[in-house]
Amino acid sequence: MDIKGKIVLVTGANGGIGGALVGALLDKGVAKVYAAARSADAVTELAHSGDPRVVAVRLDVTDSSSVAGVAELCRDVDMVINNAGVNRCVGFMVSDAIEQARVEMEVNYFGTLAMCRAFAPILASRGGGAIVNVCSIIGLVNLPVNGTYCASKAAGHSLLQGLRAELAPRGIRVIGVYPGPVDTKMTAGQEMPKTTPEQVAAAILAGVEKGDEYIFPDPMSQHVHAMLEKDSRQVEKEFGTMV
């Protein structure tokens, strides 16, 4: 897909990767970007980005009326990037794990599912287009310190696989993105090598333009993916030491 001239919706557009995606899309020459954020302040800030192609919209992916309202407003999109996500950074045995897991599932799985269901008919009516879901490399193998988050991203990975098959006859490409650690608010205070959100955004758009279905946008995700292909049980064991 040639991104130039297209109309794209990005969720979580005020976040690290979301903000970088909006910038990279503008650099690629899109006609319009719907930059979606859930707080009024973030929407106001995005609305003052200075580029007339940015249309800021308010969206909470866990709120069905908010999702329906945005789908009503953005009927001209060619590509939806489901980037909004939360990570409560907890293991399965912490005292409030079930509450935290529900929050992560609501945003990362049910929120993404709601967006895909709302926008698939719009994309289909325009001849196809693409849905890009930002999953995570730790949706493919559990990292116990982020155990509940990984489970929500694993659900997101399964969602991608099912949707890809269901939406292919309607001409919609479903693309999965599996980043490793990225330097954003989500990983603030965690000491580890991280990729910049700008590098991740550039790799996502390059993958979309190349026709990739699976995008591993940084060296860490590419390395872990290669190891998973070789010996997934060994990767599980190594990640299992990080409790």
Ligand X SMILES: NC(=O)c1ccc[n+]([C@@H]2O[C@H](COP(=O)([O-])OP(=O)(O)OC[C@H]3O[C@@H](n4cnc5c(N)ncnc54)[C@H](OP(=O)(O)O)[C@@H]3O)[C@@H](O)[C@H]2O)c1
Binding region for ligand X (CB under 6 A): 11-12, 14-18, 37-39, 42, 59-62, 83-87, 107, 111, 134, 136, 179, 181-182, 184-187
Please, which residue, 4 or 105, has the CB nearer to ligand X? Answer: 105
Please, which residue, 28 or 38, has the CB nearer to ligand X? Answer: 38
The amino acid sitting at 226 is: A
Minimum CB–partner distance for residue 5 and ligand X (Å): 26
Please, which residue, 81 or 123, has the CB nearer to ligand X? Answer: 81
Please, which residue, 2 or 185, has the CB nearer to ligand X? Answer: 185
Distance CA 236, CA 33 (A): 39
Q: Which residues contact 4 (CB under 8 A, 6 or more apart)?
A: 28, 29, 30
216: helix, coil or strand?
Answer: coil
Minimum CB–partner distance for residue 25 and ligand X (Å): 15
Minimum CB–partner distance for residue 163 and ligand X (Å): 16
Strand partners, 8: 33, 79
Minimum CB–partner distance for residue 52 and ligand X (Å): 22
